[in-house]
Structure 1
Amino acid sequence: SSSASSASSSASESAPDLARAIASLQREAADAYDARDFERASDALSSLMALEPSNEIWLEGRAQVYVDASRFRDAIDDYTSLLARAGAGPTAENAGARARYLANRALAHEGEKSWQRALEDDDAALALASDGGFLPDPYVLNSRGSVKSQLGDYAGARDDFLESYDLFQQSKGFRSASGVRSTPRLDGAVYAASNAALALAQLGTDDARATRELRDVARRAPNVADARAALAAVLYAGGETAAAEDAW
């Protein structure tokens, strides 16, 4: 009886200590991340994982820190672990989580220039989102378009960029069970439009239209350097040297 009472007292004392330790490490991870001290942030998240090994939030947070730190192989390993934990259950929540992990792992593969693996993960993420009843995420479509461009599939890339543009215009993305959209930013539409115009320029099938689209993007978002450079290249190739210099 005395032993049971002692154990109960010890447990009641350790719970507040654990909560304080978790809160302290959370603050440390957040402060380090804000300061772009990714090593300290990842160390704090690793410590949180040791305290709460079943809490996927810490593992997902560390994976994101690894991406930002350009530690892409470590990020891929963490996202692979998250996918293994998520399993393949039929619920919409599970499908949404797996889609998110796959999309983020695809970005890590992009960092390693593993374009085919990135494409496979983006494809799987979009398929899972659809199966789970989610709307397509325009960010993932835009990322997949970029991967297709790297693989030389400019027509497929343009299709993805145009669909991404349409969805950004509607402020649509993954929708949670509560109806909250995860991608409500319209600014992404400008970059999707820029990428679509670039893909058309790379296709070389309609230079006049590519030029019009690039001019439109350059006017709407003069800070998008890639669009200005592409516009200058298209104009120069068409013999419009002065206009090309102005665009550049």
Structure 2
Amino acid sequence: MAEKKMRNRTTRRRLLQTASGAGVAALAPGMPAAATASGPLAAATTPAAQATPAAVGLGAVPVGLRVNGADLALSLDPRVSLLDALREHAGLTGTKKGCNQGACGACTVLVDGERILSCLTFAVQSEGRDVTTIEGLADDAGLHPLQQAFIEHDGFQCGYCTPGQICSAVGMVAELERGVPSHVTGDLSTDAVALTHDELRERMSGNLCRCGAHNGIIGAIAETFAGGQPASFYSAETSEVSN
């Protein structure tokens, strides 16, 4: 009787052996469970228990965008950014993907006239709204005045950040006209904010130019939107943009 009780009793060694067998079965799904485990743990290592559910995708949804005056009917995963929708699905590659995390400004576009970072915006968020990219600023009459000024002032070198710089500047001027204050605005009650060196420096700080073409960028924006006096936006001592 005592020997029978000893055989039926779960010992520490027997428990460790059973658990080890179950671990081997988990690492080698093709191995028969009966060869590695027995008892209650054997059921947990059967092929049915090892089955992994298939990944479930969200699926594409219809998204209607109005881009540069044209209506686009796209089928997109809800997680697709506006940037990828424009570049990969609408074929508008003027908008650039730089950091893809909202730090460089290369992906800036206008949505209902306001500048946004398209890499941080889902395409579905812009459904039914007017999206303007760099391709939509020019018209049949020619380039947008700021685009022409960038050429005349050498406001670029590699040109990768240029679409975002131009779209951001156009959106910035609209903010000034609406009286939207910035960190450096002195009078918060004004209906319109003047474009000064400090305002321009502050409001364009989110658009980076790794080539260092900031003098040309400042000159182009100042000439286009500040009465054609870009010199007032440089320091008097060096004729360069103040740091």
RCO comparison, higher one (Cα < 8 Å, 6+): 2
TM-score between both structures, scaled by the size of structure 2 = 0.27
Structure number with higher helix proportion = 1
TM-score between both structures, scaled by the size of structure 1 = 0.27
Which structure has the greater CA radius of gyration?
A: 2
